[in-house]
Structure 1
Amino acid sequence: MEMDRDKIRKRFGYILLVSFVLLTFFSPVGRILKIPNEITFFEGQTFTLPTATFVEANGDRDHLQLQKENEIQLQAKQKGESEVVYHIAGLPIKKVHVNVLKDFKVIPGGQSIGVKINSKGVLVVGYHQVETDAGKVSPGEEAGIKIGDLITKINGKTIESINEVGSFVQEAGEKGEPLQLGIQREDKEFETQLTPQQEKGDSNYKLGLYIRDSAAGIGTLTFYDPKSKKYGALGHVISDMDTKLPIVVKDGYIVPSTVTSIQKGANGVPGEKLAKFLNQRNTIGNIEKNNQFGIYGTIHKTLSNPVMNEPIPIALSHEVKKGPAKILTVVDNDKVELFDIEIISSIPQKFPATKGMVLKITDPKLLEKTGGIVQGMSGSPIIQDGKLIGAVTHVFVNDPTSGYGVHIEWMLNEAGINIYENEEKAS
């Protein structure tokens, strides 16, 4: 008798389990449960949801309009928050928070730009062995200075360029006195003493360090905001060519550049745009930030873009889809052109991260000209369905036709543009 009850309980459990699986995956309930808990979109946009027996929109009706026909459409009327509640058989089974953002547009870039960055202090990029009467020695290495360190102060004075270093070194060497150096290593700051040594057969004294105070290169402008004049470019960090470490920015600028030739990419060998700065006095904007998402600053002179010269909407990461898209970039002189690409995959990221998209160049003209993604193309804006969705950032070494892209919302965030802001700041 007890065994019969156990069998009945087991069978009943199996029936409940199967019913739950069928209800969850093969019914309206299953479709509803797969809806995200939060939906974010812009004023004027429409978001489609699965139908249900009963749906209601709570909150301020000025923000959201709900239309029910064969499917449910949420129409964003104005900035604000609301929620949608799904009911089946009179029971609430799903609540969706809806966040309507203020309509926001930027002007896409695509222009080739020259980049000049001045580091905060002077960057140590290597050791130099000073040949003295007592043998070879690197005073800098003996002082505990590491490659990648920044020398920010000498004897209490802030150092901004290499030109300021020589006089301190020579004076201390002739007096036989140590220098008091202020060092920045990543997020830490400390002081150390270094006594310069005289090179054998030379009247000059040396630190025993190779140092650098600036870096230059080319890239592509991604966007600028016509209202705030803030811009973003490159989509990845600028690192020192020797240390491979990110350059800590003191200041810098961007200028127009023209592409003179292109070295095509091949498997295992990345290609490269060769370009020259048009006029270093004709600066377009400054550089205030250099990080994993690119370089950022303020534009004070706009660049012409005959392809797209008007502001366009942006797409959030969850709006990006697999399929055709286009990039804006320069492969000949300073002419901005549109080229076809394919979005292979996209991750709907909730937090800032790089490499949110995988893309592939499909345009025959661009493939013929460059072989795919090349150095200098970083920052090229990606357009899908008339919206700016991100920027090209990296190339796959073993497949130059493919690479990574970063979602535009993270670049906007780094530029100091908060699209999620609840209240508009006074201008």
Structure 2
Amino acid sequence: MKFPRILPKILLGFLIILLLQPVFIWYNYSQNVRLLEGEEYYVNIMYPFQAELVCDQHDVLKINGSLLQNESTNVNLRDPLMVQAVNLGKANLKITLFGKIPIRHLSVRVLPEMKLYPGGQSIGIKLRSEGVLVVGYNEVDGRYPARESGIKKGDSIIAINDVKVEGINQAAELISENGETGSTMTFKLKRDEKTFIKEVNPYFCPNTNSYRIGLFIRDTAAGVGTLTFYDPTTKKYGALGHVIVDIDTNTPIDISQGEIVKASIINIKEGRRGHPGEKTGVFIEQKDIIGSIYKNTDFGIFGTLEKIENKNDFNSSPIPIATANQVEIGPAKILTVLKGDKIEEYDVEIQKIVNKNTPSNKGFILNIIDEELIDATGGIIQGMSGSPVIQNGKIVGAITHVFVNEPTKGYGIFIEWMLLESGILEESDINKAS
């Protein structure tokens, strides 16, 4: 006798869940999608109703194999919707239930097919920070003047007494000269993209016979990494796939200028559980400069170069890129250098797609399966960041991070995110539209 009383409540609850589901779908699936011409993208909603689909452009996309002739059409949400990119441009898709309840909003940009030279070359990286970087403290006659004034490790000193700071020698001279006057000095600092002023009183240091404020500072950084791609149209490149941080402060280096140079690998330190390995490379800072650096970001370093170096069978001509939607779990290849400047190809496996919708330098997980590479390096090592990942004849991304406790595994970044950060994708849109 109780069941009939409970049944309406169960049915009501089920109805509420059905009606609220589109709200959650909308919240989780309002997104931007980039497709190459001819690429297909499937929208899986799996909702037991028909819905209304509205597209603001009729000639950019096909829905389930057909161009939309009317402003809106009805679609069955039980089956996946196939969205196919047919022409360059941008289209907005809105799917609503009963014409009122939003289910999904897709902003789809159709990009031209793009071909890039894959990298793999080892490069020497030279960065000059904006101003000078504070990397530590030093006692001056029993005190720490700068630290007591609120200057922190990781701060950049960009001006002293309104004089722009361009190097450590200049900064030391300004501090010493002003210290002799006995006046308080003003330091213009940059921290987390914000600038502010701190006042510091220099103290005389008997050991150096000069006035000091108790800081260790640096104005340059150098290291070895791997080139990811080169675009022959814009002359732009991308490398590393992650930001360069200062080794002492662990903060990103805010660059004022930088160069990449030819590098040669002379030694490999094998990685093992808990101890990342590394490549040791040599380069001459003032010679063999092949490009400039204008950006140091979470997605890598970017700049311009005139031509790609060390072409071989693996990168003798440009190859297509893959968007994040095209990357699959399965076999792939990487290009990198283990000795000298010779680029070699090694087998890897993409094991998991972590996030293809939100820009990140941890978009997928890959595993090194090439026995020759494992024997030589133990897996992924420092200096291998930026090594391009090739799948189905396309550049899909680059190695970025190693799993410290499992060195054969690591993260990769989708090439799409690197191209967006470099500005190349936007420039390709403008060129096609003009």
Q: Taking structure 2 as the reference length, what is the TM-score of the superposition?
A: 0.81
The residue aligned with 2:70 is none
Partner of 1:111: 121
Cα distance change, pair 373–149 in 1 and its aligned pair in 2 (3 A): same
Cα distance in 1 for residues equivalent to 2:30 and 2:165? 52
CA contact (8 A) 1:81 1:97 kept: no
Q: Which residue pairs with 2:23 in the alignment?
A: none
Of 155, 159, 163 in structure 2, the residue corresponding to residue 153 of structure 1 is 159
Q: How does 1:89-238 map to 2 (within 5 A)?
A: 99=108, 101-103=110-112, 104-131=114-141, 136-238=142-244
Tell me the CA shift for residue 375 of structure 1. 0.3
The residue correspondences of 1:35-74 to structure 2 (distance < 5 A) are 40-46=34-40, 62-64=59-61, 67=65
Q: What is the letter of the counterpart of residue 366 of structure 2?
A: L
**Aligned partners of 1:421 and 1:304: how far apart in 2?**
26
CA distance in 2, matches of 1:413, 1:205: 47
Equivalent in the alignment of 1:77: 86
CA distance in 1, matches of 2:108, 2:144: 60
| TM-aligned CA distance change 1:198 to 1:101, over 3 Å | same
1:27 aligns to what? Answer: none
1:278 and 1:181, CA in 2 relative to 1: closer, same or farther beyond 3 A? closer
Q: Does 1:338 align with 2:345?
A: yes
Task: Note closer, same or farther for the CA distance 1:345–1:199 as it changes in structure 2 (3 Å cut).
Answer: same
Q: CA deviation digits over 1:208-236, x for unaligned, max 9?
A: 11000010001001112211122111111
> Post-superposition shift, 1:142?
2.4
Identity of aligned residues (%): 43
CA–CA distance in structure 2, aligned partners of residues 146 and 376 of structure 1: 29
Change (3 A) 1:413 1:154: same
The residue type equivalent to 1:118 in the other structure is R
State the match for 1:89 in structure 2. none
Q: Does 1:418 align with 2:425?
A: yes
Structure of greater Rg: 1
Distance 1:219 1:13 in 2: 63
Q: After alignment, is 102-111 or 257-266 more displaced?
A: 102-111
- Higher mean displacement: 208-217 or 76-85: 76-85
Mind listing any 5+ residue stretches in structure 1 that lack a counterpart? 22-35, 87-92
Q: Is the 8 A contact 1:318 1:347 kept in 2?
A: no
Paired position in structure 1 for 2:25: none
Secondary structure of the structure 2 residue equivalent to 1:231: strand
Change (3 A) 1:378 1:176: same
Q: Is 1:328 aligned to residue 335 of structure 2?
A: yes
Greater mean deviation of Cα atoms: 309-318 or 232-241? 309-318
Residue-by-residue CA offset, 1:164-209 (whole Å, 9 max, x unaligned): 1222122122222232221112222222222222222542222211
Structure 2 SS opposite 1:368: helix
1:420 offset after TM fit, Å? 9.9
Contact 1:366/1:372 (8 A) holds in 2:
yes
Q: Given that residues 162 and 213 in structure 1 are in contact (C-alpha distance below 8 angstroms), is that contact kept between their aligned partners in structure 2?
A: yes
Which residues of 2 match residues 225-304 of structure 1 at below 5 A? 225-278=231-284, 280-304=286-310
Are the counterparts in 2 of residues 260 and 274 from structure 1 also a CA contact under 8 Å?
Answer: yes
Alignment check: 8 A CA contact 2:121 2:309 kept: yes
Structure 1 residue corresponding to 2:317, chosen from 302, 307, 310? 310
For residues 7 and 312 of structure 1, do their structure 2 counterparts lie closer, same or farther at Cα, with a shift above 3 Å needed? same
User: What is the CA–CA distance in structure 1 between the aligned matches of 2:355 and 2:216, rounded to whole Å?
Assistant: 44
Q: Distance in 1 between matches of 2:345 and 2:42?
A: 30
For residue 74 of structure 2, what is the aligned residue in structure 1?
none
Name the stretch that deviates more: 333-342 or 94-103.
94-103
> Offset of 1:374 from its aligned partner?
0.3
Match of 1:130, SS?
A: coil
- The more displaced of 179-188 and 210-219 is 179-188
SS at match of 1:212: strand
Measure the CA separation in 2 of the matches of 1:62 and 1:417: 25
CA positional deviation for 1:102? 2.4
Letter in 1 for 2:264: T
Q: Do the aligned residues in 2 keep the contact of 1:215 with 1:240 (CA within 8 Å)?
A: yes
Residue 411 of structure 2: aligned partner: 404
* Structure 2 residues without counterparts, runs of 5 or longer: 18-28, 67-79, 96-101
TM-score by length of 1: 0.82
> How many pairs align?
405
With over 3 angstroms needed to count, the CA separation of the structure-2 counterparts of 1:321 and 1:198, relative to structure 1, is: same
SS of corresponding position for 2:289: coil
Code of the aligned partner of 2:333: K
Instruction: Tell me how large the CA RMSD over aligned residues is.
Output: 3.7
The residue aligned with 1:24 is none
Q: Secondary structure at the match of 1:378?
A: coil
- Asked if the contact 1:57/1:82 (under 8 Å) is kept, the reply is no
Over 3 Å counting, the alpha-carbon distance change for 1:16 and 1:261 in structure 2 is: same
**Is contact 2:140-2:203 (8 Å) kept?**
yes
Give the counterpart letter for 2:384 in structure 1: M
Whether contact under 8 Å (1:102, 1:419) holds in the other structure is no
Tell me which moved more, 285-294 or 196-205. Answer: 196-205
Q: Distance in 2 between matches of 1:167 and 1:106?
A: 47
1:147, 1:84 → 2: CA distance? 48
Query: In 1, are the aligned partners of 2:126 and 2:285 still within 8 Å (CA)?
Result: no
**Structure 1 residues 194 and 342: alpha-carbon distance in aligned structure 2, compared to 1, 3 A threshold:** same
> How far apart are residue 269 of structure 1 and its match?
0.8
Distance 1:177 1:342, change over 3 A: same
Q: Classify the secondary structure of the residue corresponding to 1:177.
A: coil
Q: Within 1, Cα distance between the matches of 2:107 and 2:188?
A: 51
Amino acid at match of 2:265: V
- 3-state DSSP of counterpart to 2:159: strand
